[in-house]
Homo-oligomer: A and B are copies of this chain.
Amino acid sequence: MTAPKTHPGRTGSRGRIDKREAILAAAFRVFARKGFANACVKDIAAEAKVAKPTIYSHLDDKDALFREAMAAAAEGVSATSAAAVEGLRHPGEDLEAAFGTAARLLLDSCLTESSHALRRLTYAELPRFPELLDTVRGALNGRLVDDLAGHVAMLSVGGRLRVGDPVLAAEQFVSLITGPMEICSAMGTREVTAEKAAEVASAAVTTFLAAYGTD
């Protein structure tokens, strides 16, 4: 029998996989709360409501637990941030409105708790986990910039933008949003008012289109 069973049954391996995912999710929550070194496996086991050795039966050691938890969390964040610029694939008539929507969605995804935690943990543990760059950063900015650069290139080919280096332009657009946002959210430790967010998004679009627009 090959069809995967989604209900947590004892037959098949779906139940085991569910538990693994529950462990990874719990691990990410605890790591986000305490950081890697200060999070202890006991806490993670408690958060996941399993016994400590159960974790070791699913993951090799604490390092692997961290890597996998980060990768899983990155996958989640990646999807929403990439979705934010998806509307630019077919922007319709009003280009400014399309970029405005993208900017606000992107901003929302950046203000997520998970997003901040992911960024923070990556920064913190990069020295010990250099491979986080490939698993997390790709998820955080890499894919986003790539997708966006693609859309920008298409728009440039279509004559609706005038862009020399689409990748650089995409990086600038992302930076115009995340940069001021990080500055005023104090790296995720302060609430950002909706007004300020709207202002940042609007200014980013204005600046971006002033530089690359054709109208």
Contacts and interface: CB of A to CB of B under 8 A. Distances in A.
A145 B33 contact: no
Stoichiometry, copies per complex: 4
Interface stretch (A20-28, A72-80, A152-160, A171-179): A171-179
Interface in A120-178: 120-128, 130, 133, 137, 141, 145, 165, 168-169, 171-172, 174-176, 178
A175 to B, nearest CB: 2
Interface string A108-121: 00000000000111
Nearest to A133: B186
Q: Interface residue tally of chain A, by bracket? A: 35 or more
A128 B169 CA distance: 36
Contact of A175 (B35, B119, B122, B176): B176
Interface of A: 32-38, 119-128, 130, 133, 137, 141, 145, 165, 168-169, 171-172, 174-176, 178-180, 183-184, 186-189, 199-200, 203-204, 206-208, 210-212
